[in-house]
Structure 1
Amino acid sequence: MEIRRVIVPTAIVWAAPTKLKAAQAYLKAPDITTWLAQLSTADQEALASQDVIVTQALLNDRVILDQVKGDWAHVFVKRQATHLERRGYPGWVPLTQLSADDQELDYPTTTVRLVQAQTSLLDEQGQTVAQLPLGTVLTTTGQDSQQIQVLTPLGAGKISAQAAQLTVGGVNDGDRLLALGREFLGTPYLWGGITPQGFDCSGLVYALHRALGYAIPRDAQDQFTNGYPIAPEALAPGDLVFFAADHGTGTVHHVSIYAGKGQMLHAPKPGESVTLTPLCRVPYAAEYVGARRFWQ
C-alpha cells in the first residue's frame, strides 16, 4: 500500500480524469476562487448533475495510491470516511498534486488544526508559500506565543499561532459549530467543496466538524447513518438536519445545521451561497427525514 500526501492547499478530487470544459479550465489554472467565480450557473449545475467532482483533499492529507493512469492518480482520501470504500473517499487527482512518497518522522510529533478561513503558510525565511484553508491539519515541531513551527510536504515552515485558536464561543460545541458556520454565510456553493472557497451541503458540515476535531463521514447519507439520533423536539444549535427524496422516504440528499428558532444554516445548491433558511420553507418541510448529532 503506497501512501502519498497532498502538496497543494486544496486538491479537487474528480470522479474520473475529465475533459469537461469547466474542469479543463480549472486544471489549466488551478485557483479555485477565481475558477468558481468565472463559472456560469449552468456550468456549476453540470458539475453537480454529472457528479464530476466527488470531494476535495487538503494540504498534508494522506491518500492511498491505487493506480496511475497517465497524468492522473486514483486515490483513497484516508481522512474522509464513506460507505463507498473502507480505505477512504475514492477519486482521481492530478499526479502533480501529490508527493512522491510519505515521509514519516523518527520522533513523536503533535498536530494542529487550522480553524480560520485562511492561514498563510510561511517558509523559514518568513515568505508566504501558500494560503491554507479551514480544517488543514499540520505536523508541529514547536511553538511560541506568536508562531507555530510546522512540517509539511512542502518543507518546514511556520504559521501564526492565532490560526489554531478558535475565536467563536458558546456553552458547548454545538454552539461553536453554528457560530463558526455563521462566519461563512455568503460563501459560494461548489459541488464537492469542503473549504471556504466553496462548499456543498455535506462539505460544509464535514469542514466545520473537522475544524473542531470531530471525525465524521464526508457525505450526507453517511452522516445520517452514523450520527446520534435527535428527536425534533430536542433539536439544539449545531445538530444536523437531513432531507430525503419522496417526501422524506427516499435517499438522503441534503443536510443542514440547525440554527435555532426554526432556522437552518446550509449550502443550498449550485448558483447560491451559504445562507440561513426557515425549516418550514418549501421543499424542506416536506422532505424532513430526521436529525443527528456528532458534537456530544
Structure 2
Amino acid sequence: MLQTESTAWVCRVPVATVWTAPEKARAVDAEGIAEHPNLNNWLRTMSREDKQDLVDSNRIQTQLLYGEPVLIEEVVNGWAKIMALWQPCQKDERGYPGWVPSSQLKEVENLTELGYARVTHHKAQLWTENFKPLKVVSFNTMLPVKEIADFIRLQTPDGDAFIMANTVEIVSAYNQSPKGNGLDIANLGAEFLDLPYLWAGMSSYGYDCSGFTYNLMKANGVIISRDAVDQVLEGIEIDLHAQNTWHIGDLLFFAYEEGRGKLHHVGVYYGNGLMLHSPTPGKSVEIIELAGTKHATELCAVRRFVDEEA
C-alpha cells in the first residue's frame, strides 16, 4: 500500500477516526471502525462514560475527512499506520500519526490542476454521475475539482461525483482558502453552537477544542497545527494580561495549576470578555463569559493568527 508519484492514498469514508493503536478500539467502537462506518450510530451508542474513556485511555488521536491524503508507513492485520499529511504536529514532521482500518483508505490518481472544492456547509450531499445520492460529507472536506458549473464535478475515492456549487468554495490548494478576519472566525464558530464535543473530533459530527480551532482557522485561510500544545507556539504572542489588546478571533490557551502547568485547552476570543469553545465530553460548543470561571485563572497564552479583527 505504498504511494507512487502519480497516486495518493486517501480517506475513502466521510470521516475516519485515527486510533492510537489498533488494540485501543473497543466493542462499542464497531460502528466507527467498520468498512462503511456510521458515525451517527457510533456516537449514539457510546455512553458519556465511553466518550470520556476516549480521553482517559488515550484511544484516539484525530480524524480524517473524505478524500484527505495520508502517508502509509505500514499495514498490520488490516490496520494502516498513517500520517495525516494536512494536519501539522510536532509528533511527526510528515503529518499527524496514528492507525486507521485499511478498509477506510483507497488509492486514487493525483489530481490538482483545477484546485479543490472545500465544503462550506455543515454537511453537503455528494451525487453520482446519474444524480443519485452518494455520500454526505462534512464541513471542510476538500476534493479535487474536475469541472466547474452549477454542479461541480469532483474526483472522489468513489469515482467522479457532483456537488452543488453553492455548498463549496473553489481553492487552488488545501492551504489556500481566502483569508478571513477575526470576526469571520468567530462568526463561523458560532454556527456550530450546541454541537457535542468529541475527543479527537475533526468533523461537523463533533470537535474537540483544538480540532475546532484548527478547522475554523483552516476555513479562513490559516493552517495551524492540529493540537493545542503546538498551536500555542504559533501565531503572534499577545499580552494575556491586557484584555483590551485582544482581538476577536484570537486563540486563548489554558493550563492546569493556574496557568503554570500542563496546557489542556484552547478557545476563540469572542470579544467583550467572552470565549467560544468546544469544552469537554458531555458538553457542546458554547459561548461563555471568562470572568469568574476556572478559565480566568488558567489562561496561559493568547495568540493571534489573522491581522484584521473585522
TM over 0.5, shorter chain: yes
Q: How many residues matched?
A: 289
Q: In structure 1, what is the equivalent of residue 163 of structure 2?
A: 159
Q: Which moved more, 1:66-75 or 1:224-233?
A: 224-233
Q: 1:137 aligns with which of 137, 142, 158?
A: 142
The TM-score, its normalising length taken from structure 1, stands at: 0.93
Deviation at 1:26, TM superposition (A): 2.9
Distance apart, 1:25 and its partner CA: 4.8
Residues 19 and 8 of structure 1: is their aligned pair in 2 closer, same or farther, counting only changes over 3 Å?
A: closer
Q: 1:172 to 1:55 in 2, by over 3 A?
A: closer
Corresponding residue number in structure 2 for 1:246? 257
User: For residue 221 of structure 1, what is the amino acid of its counterpart?
Assistant: V
Quote the sequence identity (%): 35
Aligned-partner residue type, residue 152 of structure 2: I
Taking only aligned residues, the RMSD between alpha carbons, in angstroms, comes to 1.8
Cα 1:230/1:183, change in 2 over 3 Å: same
C-alpha displacement at 1:108, in angstroms?
2.4
Check if 1:95 corresponds to 2:99: no
Q: Which amino acid aligns with 2:122?
A: A
Indicate yes or no: 2:221 matched with 1:213: yes
**Deviation (angstroms), 1:165:** 5.0
Structure-2-length-normalised TM-score = 0.88
The 1:131/1:83 distance shift into structure 2, 3 A limit, reads: same
**1:89-141, CA deviations, whole angstroms, 9 ceiling, x for partnerless residues?**
00000000101x34124x82211211110011111111111111011111112
- Of the three residues 143, 149, 160, the one matched with 2:153 is 149
Q: Which residue of 2 aligns with 1:66?
A: 73
1:47 to 43, 54, 69: 54
The change in CA–CA distance for 1:142 and 1:235 in structure 2 (over 3 A counts) is: same
Give the drift of 1:251. Answer: 2.2
Q: CA separation in 2, counterparts of 1:175 and 1:154? A: 37
> Shift in Å at residue 194 of structure 1?
1.1
Structure 2: gaps (5+ residues): 171-178
Cα distance between partner residues in 2 of 1:209 and 1:266:
13
Contact 2:30 2:42 in 1 (8 A): no
Instruction: Please name the residue that 1:120 is paired with.
Output: 125
Corresponding residue number in structure 2 for 1:288: 299
Partner residue, 2:44: 37
Deviation at residue 172 of structure 1 after TM alignment: 5.2
Q: How far apart in 2 are the matches of 1:102 and 1:25?
A: 25
User: Cα gap change, 1:25/1:151 in structure 2, threshold over 3 Å: closer, same or farther?
Assistant: closer
The amino acid across from 1:109 in the alignment is L
Flag the 1:165–1:109 CA change in 2: closer, same or farther, 3 A: closer
Query: For 1:153-232, what aligned pairs fall within 5 Å after superposition?
Result: 153-164=157-168, 173-231=181-239, 232=243
Q: Which runs of 4+ in 1 moved over 6 A?
A: none
Specify every segment of 5 or more residues in structure 1 that has no aligned partner in the other structure, as ranges: none
Residues 58 and 172 (structure 1 numbering): CA distance in 2 closer, same or farther, change over 3 Å? closer
Checking the alignment, whether the CA contact within 8 Å between 1:119 and 1:131 is kept in structure 2 is: yes
1:14 and 2:22 aligned = no
Does the CA-based 8 Å contact 1:115-1:212 persist in structure 2? no
Contact kept, 8 Å, 1:12 with 1:93, in 2: the verdict is yes
Q: Distance in 2 between matches of 1:183 and 1:280?
A: 24
